[in-house]
Amino acid sequence: MSIRAVAEAAKASLPKLAKSTGAARNAFLERAAHNIKRSSKALVAENAEDVSSALASGHTEAFLDRLALNQSRVDGLVKSFLDVAALPDPLYGLEELERMASGLTVGRMRVPLGVIAFICEARPGAAAEAAALTVKSGNAIVCKPGKESAKSSKFLGAIMRRSLAEAGLPEDAVAVIPAMGREEILELVGLDDCVDLAIPRGGEGLIRMVAENAKVPVLKHYKGVCHLYVDAGADLPSAVKVIIDAKASRPAACNALECLLVHEAEAPALLSALAPELKNYRVAVRASKECMGHLAQLGEALTEASEEDFDREYLDLALNVAAVPDLDAALDHIRRHGSRHTESILTNDLANARRFVEEADASCVMVNASTRLNDGGVLGMGGEIGISTTKLHAYGPMGLKELTSRKFVVFGHGHVRG
């Protein structure tokens, strides 16, 4: 089947999907959880073949780890389907109903967006989890998972379609095609007559390729150059814990800390307390000149940062450190180097907390919390299909509501404009 035929079939599934009850969409999720669980041995076996191929092609250990599915990860996938089923139905509720002076009643109603093109990385559960959120919100999805997960993704795609049929929903609402090349991905995101939105996830190169060539709207983030600013008077022992969590709990995540900014008054005490922890976690540090002395015990793991270093997203156990004279300088640094992903201030100063929250230009701004907490699950949205650092439509983690639009609903009794 051609890419166009798959996208058109997805579009043709929309009216039936849009008319389905929340119960039917939940039945799909429950059937999918059941079917994945029942087929978990076969799924793990398919995945093992993906892993051996990837091993043979010389992928890194970190890559193989993301690709691999074991029973415990399959259990996690099953749970994510049941978690999405437990979320409230996002569709068709009437919100913000107001009675106008004219007697018209005006409200908003959430409706599906349509067909989502989802281009993702090699983690085999990614496309399945995206399909769960997409179908729950009444949308159809055409997924292009990383080709290294071809066998496991195909297996999961077949389960998705069978589960749709078992729930009485059109199976064309989910299509998983690991075999798309660059040309076919660009064809898919060019089909503006049947695709409504593209969500690319993965490396910056892939995302730029999609964003620059798509004819359909794209929700995306390129990178997460996330900062923590430790204000004068912040609680330093707590700061050390938060910094280590933000940097070391999962360095490859986009919400991991890339640059620590510290008020110059706290730099000596904070950095001296932090250095042994950074050393312990084997974090390589690039520091601005004035911080070098306080971090000397890092030895070879410490180098002086260049201006360009402050634009880098390491996605690794590496961290930039700079001292700033005040909050304005911290905000200015973030304006110049931030990526609108996640910015956090550690402070006890209410006025500074307020200013940081209002002025730091990012999809998620935090006070006294680790940047790693910017996550759809942690923030109470259930799952997330991605994170947007564009301000249009969605800004931050994208959950069920971000997969809907709101139409105006107007109730009159013979009202005219006149």
User: Cα(102)–Cα(230) distance, rounded to whole angstroms?
Assistant: 53
Interface residue with a copy of itself, options 241, 282, 289, 336 (CB under 8 A):
241
Query: Does position 417 bind a copy of itself by CB under 8 A?
Result: yes
Rounded to the nearest whole angstrom, what is the least distance from the CB of residue 167 to a copy of itself in the complex?
20
Nearer residue to a copy of itself within complex by CB, 38 or 241? 241
Residues 322-341 that bind a copy of itself (CB under 8 A): 335
The closest alpha carbon to 173, from 134, 221, 200, belongs to 134
DSSP-based three-state secondary structure for 148: helix
Rounded to the nearest whole angstrom, what is the least distance from the CB of residue 193 to a copy of itself in the complex?
13
| φ, ψ for residue 44, nearest 5 deg | -60, -35
Query: Does position 170 bind a copy of itself by CB under 8 A?
Result: no
Rounded to the nearest whole angstrom, what is the least distance from the CB of residue 290 to a copy of itself in the complex?
26
Interface residue with a copy of itself, options 247, 372, 383, 398 (CB under 8 A):
372
Rounded to the nearest whole angstrom, what is the least distance from the CB of residue 375 to a copy of itself in the complex?
8
Interface residue with a copy of itself, options 56, 350, 351, 392 (CB under 8 A):
392
Nearer residue to a copy of itself within complex by CB, 44 or 274? 274
Q: What is the largest CA-CA distance in the chain?
A: 79
Rounded to the nearest whole angstrom, what is the least distance from the CB of residue 37 to a copy of itself in the complex?
27
Asked whether the beta carbons of 82 and 29 are under 8 A apart, the reply is yes
Residues 248-307 that bind a copy of itself (CB under 8 A): 249-250
Query: Does position 382 bind a copy of itself by CB under 8 A?
Result: no
Asked whether the beta carbons of 258 and 226 are under 8 A apart, the reply is yes
Nearer residue to a copy of itself within complex by CB, 3 or 246? 246
> x/- binding map, residues 88-127, to a copy of itself, per CB under 8 A?
----x-----x-x-x-x-x--x-x-xx-------------
Rounded to the nearest whole angstrom, what is the least distance from the CB of residue 119 to a copy of itself in the complex?
17
DSSP-based three-state secondary structure for 388: strand
Segment (H or E) for 418:
none
Asked whether the beta carbons of 408 and 383 are under 8 A apart, the reply is no
Number of residues engaging a copy of itself in binding (CB under 8 A) = 68
User: Cα(177)–Cα(286) distance, rounded to whole angstroms?
Assistant: 42
Query: Does position 56 bind a copy of itself by CB under 8 A?
Result: no
User: Cα(110)–Cα(137) distance, rounded to whole angstroms?
Assistant: 9
Query: Does position 391 bind a copy of itself by CB under 8 A?
Result: yes
Query: Does position 21 bind a copy of itself by CB under 8 A?
Result: no
Query: Does position 58 bind a copy of itself by CB under 8 A?
Result: no
Rounded to the nearest whole angstrom, what is the least distance from the CB of residue 235 to a copy of itself in the complex?
7
Would the CA dihedral through 124, 125, 131, 133 be positive or negative?
negative
Tokens of 403: 């997969």
Query: Does position 350 bind a copy of itself by CB under 8 A?
Result: no
Query: What's the full length of the chain, in residues?
Result: 418
Interacting span for a copy of itself (CB under 8 A) from 35-43, 259-267, 316-324, 355-363 = 355-363
Rounded to the nearest whole angstrom, what is the least distance from the CB of residue 112 to a copy of itself in the complex?
8
Tokens of 20: 């389905």
| φ, ψ for residue 214, nearest 5 deg | -70, 145
At a CB cut-off of 8 Å and minimum separation 6, what does 19 contact?
none
Residue 415 CB neighbours (<10 A): 12
| φ, ψ for residue 247, nearest 5 deg | -85, -45
At a CB cut-off of 8 Å and minimum separation 6, what does 48 contact?
none
Tokens of 264: 């110059």
Query: Does position 87 bind a copy of itself by CB under 8 A?
Result: no
Q: Binding residues for a copy of itself, per CB under 8 A?
A: 15, 18-19, 92, 98, 100, 102, 104, 106, 109, 111, 113-114, 196-197, 212, 215, 217, 235, 238, 241-242, 245-246, 249-250, 335, 357-359, 361-370, 372-375, 378-380, 390-393, 395-397, 405-418
